[in-house]
Amino acid sequence: MSTMWQGCLANTDYFEMRSSGGHDYGIWVTTPPGYDPAATRTPAVYVLDGNFAVGMTAPLIVTQLDPMGPLQPYIQVSVGYAGEEAQHWDRLRNRDLVPPGEPVAQEFIDAVELGFQSGARTREESDAYLAALRDTHADAFLSFLTTELHPRIERDYDTAPTGHGLFGYSYGGLFSLYTWLSGCTLFESIGAGSPGVASADSQVFAQLREMGDSRQAAKLHVTLNEQELLGELPIYQSMTKNTATLLHRLGSRSGAVTSAVLRETHVTGLSASFLSYLRTCRAR
């Protein structure tokens, strides 16, 4: 990493990796202060949407030394997109983070159209964004994380055999729910920030029905934002309502599920949600 980037993201390595499915990913690996793999093997926490999230979450690795709220040590692995594709990360994430067969809610279509009308996206960009939502492969991305990326992280950074975590926000939060409900055994704790459960017919509800009365071993921490619930944007109201419904149904099935409402908006809630996950699931 260049000297300039080291100043912003201390103790961070960067590499690129092509998946078996032919997709290119950018990977940022941030190690904690005083990291010495020869002395202590450390678990990894995987953070999604690396192109957007790494700058707001990786510096928080110093909280491991906070004397007023110390956390279990972890290596942060932020996963994003590489090369020319990186500029389209907000569209590519739809392909990777959304469960197969996930319905596209009308509120989401309306939100994309509002973005076009306000000039946030061109018509071509808006159409490509929605097209990506109609061909989604969270199953393939989960396989990449667990069977391709993690073995490389395990080998190159000599990580601990257990204690790994996963954190995602928005559609990354939807992916976190999908991963937890799938029974993935790699992660011992999973954070789902403001999950993008945009439809009442989301695949996560089908997963929940399939789960029946069984209990998942991993901890799950879900956060919502106050302004999503109380604001005037229908897409955020739907997401919070559907997530709350999921939490209510989970309440009687698993004692490993926790939740919190944060005083943030959808845009400002990422760092606060990540900290809430760390403090709830990774406190010493």
DSSP code string of 187-213:
EEEEEEES-----TT-HHHHHHHHHTT
Confidence (pLDDT) at 216: 87
By DSSP bridging, strand 12-18 and strand 24-30 are: antiparallel
Alpha carbons 153 and 44: distance in angstroms, whole number: 8
Among 122, 133, 149, smallest CA distance to 91 is for 133
Number of structural domains in the chain: 1
Which tokens hold the place of 53? 């999230």
By DSSP bridging, strand 257-262 and strand 219-225 are: parallel
Can you list the alpha helix ranges (DSSP code H) found in 231-268? 234-251
CATH of residue 237's domain is: 3.40.50.1820
Confidence (pLDDT) at 4: 46
Burial 48-65 (b: 16+ CB within 10 A, else e): bbbbbbbebbbbbbebbe
201: containing domain: 3-281
Average pLDDT of adjacent 10-residue blocks, the chain of 284 residues: 60 95 96 88 97 95 88 96 91 96 88 81 85 93 98 96 98 98 97 96 96 88 96 93 94 80 96 97 92
Confidence (pLDDT) at 109: 86
Confidence (pLDDT) at 1: 47
Alpha carbons 111 and 233: distance in angstroms, whole number: 8
Residues 6+ apart with CB under 8 A from 60: 271, 274, 275, 278
Q: The whole model's pTM is what?
A: 0.94
